[in-house]
Structure 1
Amino acid sequence: MTQDIYDNGIVYAYVTVTGNDYWEVLPLSTGGSIILEIDRIEVGQVTLKANFTQGSLKLRFVLVAGTPAGKTSKNISSMSYAEAMDYFGLEY
């Protein structure tokens, strides 16, 4: 995470459990309770908060510098990993 992304950008986080073929957007919830979320973001570090123990999680972060022109009208907070990458024109 760069200072520019921290100051002006957007961070999206996705998680999958080994064996699953899909990525879920954070915060991750079950039964109405959040079980995994971003707790704190700093330059060079993202801290997660979880209320469970799982050794086989994989995480992906999409870091978008600045606010891309014309990309603010759509609700991107609930997009899948692939949808977000496509929306911002990023490779995955």
Structure 2
Amino acid sequence: MTNTESNSIKNYIDMAKTGHCPLFFSEWLDGPLQSSQALTYRSAKKNVGEVFSKLSKHRSIERKKTMVESFSDQERAEFIQSFFKLVERDILQDLKTLH
């Protein structure tokens, strides 16, 4: 993962922490986030990194969203779960620094 991809992921994570998820339609978030599949941080980070390396080829958010839309339902669900696992970890890291 390049430094630019890493910065891009961080920017999207920061937006998601405030409730803004421009890569996802709201109806996509209903199913994957309700499942109770255990997901490790390492596998989530790998999955998100792979997807963002593909997304980095597109400049506009609309094209990136279209690419995510082209994923199969399972691929999209895995990506959404993985992405929010990274968001959750980032929030928990912020809480640790507050104490």
* TM-score, normalised with respect to structure 2: 0.23
Q: Which has the larger radius of gyration?
A: 1
Q: Which has the higher helix share?
A: 2
* Higher relative contact order structure (alpha carbons within 8 Å, sequence separation ≥ 6): 2
| Structure with greater strand percent | 1
Give TM-score, length-normalised by structure 1: 0.24
